[in-house]
Amino acid sequence: MSQRNVGTLDIERIRSDFPILEREFDDQQVVYLDNAATTQTPDPVIDAMSDYYRYTNSNVHRGIHHLSQEASEAYERAHDRVAEFIGASGGREEVIFTKNTTESENLVAYSWGLNELGPGDEVVLTEMEHHASLVTWQQIAHETGAEVKYIQIDEDGRLDMDHARECITDDTAILSAVHVSNTLGTVNPVAKLTEIAHKHGALSFIDGAQAVPNRPVDVEEIDADFYAFSGHKMAGPTGIGVLYGKKQLLEEMEPYLYGGGMIRKVTFEDSTWADLPWKFEPGTPPIAEAVGLEAAIDYLEEIGMERVQAHEEELAEYAYEQLKAEGDVEIYGPEPGPDRSGLVGFNLESVHAHDLASIMNDHTVAVRAGDHCTQPLHDKLGVAASARASFYVYNTREEIDKLIDAIDDARQLFA
């Protein structure tokens, strides 16, 4: 695949890398619009993982034989590739592999939060946080006596930055904010939020699960202290996530998971820890998944992240306009623009989101329905659930037209 101008992707060429998109149910080709949950995996990523298992499979950092050395080199190279991809100049020492974004949140919450937070400290979140952030910090606050505060959203689904400045004070220990909302599609000003936090001596944790897959991200431009994302949302495999952390912070933190591979010296009385990043990666790590993640990064960069972003935003704008024209569809989040990403959450009047998703499935249109792991946000919006169409580099306008056709069918059925 060659580099192209922004917005001029060869979609058919890209789609040919994803055989699952050719699947049919009841003689209808699948329309996959559930990418915010999990993107599909292209052949180059599958091939890279398959080749690893065929020719290299071995454990890492534990053997002196050829296969172990090759596996170790591949695993370490994947860390380096991730660091390069997100602009982490500290290299592999600032990149920890986890199972997913949720585990990355928990790693910081338990390794840093449980030891550093106490009564009088504040944890500042946003009202649009995913449960991975909200529940984790909520429970750590219960254990430590810290207080959780929430930055409000306005009626358009954007963060109220005046309220952010009120919430973040000298008592704030850490700000944890989602880069892109998985429900509203809002792109938050995370660099500005981090700047405000730092002015008050607080750390920042940015949940990039919905950002890294579809736009260029530079963690050092954001100046985030911690930044997390998942492989399966960026054309990579399930079972691997990334925690970026500034080296000095990671060096000062104690691990919260223990076992083989993360130790330097063990006696019957005590243990000391390996160097970064290994001290946070106990046990046999996700080696094949790391190989797959590296291949996914190569795949996306060959397309160009600016092109990925432009294509998603174009589709989201088209979907927004088509849904708005329906008249009886409520859309959540900002209007199309620089602070909206490639997903659209909505509800059809008088039709429950689950019923709507079921009818769409009859049309072989795959969307997500429910609270999207943002129950408090849905409470704020005054709805029990919403439908969500989310797009990726292989989606087309024609697929959005099929989405609209399915909505029209649902309207008639529930008339």
**The two three-digit tokens of residue 194, written as one number:** 């981090």
Whole-angstrom Cα Rg for the chain: 22
Give yes or no for a contact between 163 and 170, defined as CB atoms under 8 angstroms apart: no
Residue 271 phi/psi, 5-degree rounding, is -140, 150
Print the SS3 string covering 236-277: CCCCCEEEEECHHHHHHCCCCCCCCCCEEEECCCCEEECCCC
Residue 175 near residue 222, CB atoms below 8 Å: no
Burial-class residue 151 by CB neighbours within 10 Å (0-12, 13-18, 19+).
Answer: buried
CB burial class (10 A; 0-12, 13-18, 19+) of residue 76?
middle
How far is 203 from 127, CA to CA, in rounded Å?
A: 19
Closest CA to 385 of 366, 368, 361, 365: 368
Return the active site residues.
373
Cα 230 to Cα 237: distance, rounded to the nearest angstrom: 9
CA distances from 32 to 275, 281, 311, 405 (A): 42, 34, 16, 15
Beta bridge partners of 368: 388
Q: How far apart are CA 73 and CA 61, in angstroms?
A: 9
Do 90 and 192 contact (CB within 8 A), yes or no? Answer: no
195 membership: H or E segment, kind and range: helix 190-199
3-state secondary structure of 29: strand
